Amino acid sequence: MSLKAGDIITFERTFTKKDVELFTQISGDEGVHHLTPDEQGRLVVQGLLTATLPTKIGGDHNVFARTMNFEFMRPVFTGDTIVCEVTIDNFEKTENNRTAIEASFTCINQMDKEVLKGNFAGVIL
């Protein structure tokens, strides 16, 4: 898929208890809210695990990120399905024959509540 300014890419993910357990091991983020289920049996998903959603664009398109900004709006819980919408704001060739990319994103849970928003910029390698 070739990107261009104005493109909107949407995808979703449902976070599981196993996701949180693996991310806890990798990150060392062992906050009690990530280890102890709430009264509904859910764990709070680490913010940076949630932030992997918009980084999928980077993986899909070989983006070497230079900046990433995240604003965490509300918690995400295991079992939540998050829809991530990424808008390509700028996509252009640079003088050194690379392609610069700037994008903004928003992530919405299954209750239509915004959980994360932000932007990133980098180059396509």
Quote the pLDDT of residue 1.
55
Give the position of tokens 């900046």. Answer: 67
The pTM score is 0.91
Q: Which tokens is 123 given?
A: 């180059």
3-class secondary-structure state, position 55: helix
Ordered structural domains, the chain, with CATH? 8-124 (3.10.129.10)
What does the DSSP assignment read for 9-25? EEEEEE--HHHHHHHHH
Q: Which residues contact 77 (CB under 8 A, 6 or more apart)?
A: 15, 38, 40, 42, 43, 44, 45
pLDDT digit string (tens) for the chain, length 125 residues: 588 999 999 999 999 999 999 999 999 888 888 889 999 999 999 999 999 999 998 889 889 999 999 999 999 999 999 999 999 999 998 888 889 999 999 999 999 999 999 999 999 87
Quote the pLDDT of residue 94.
86
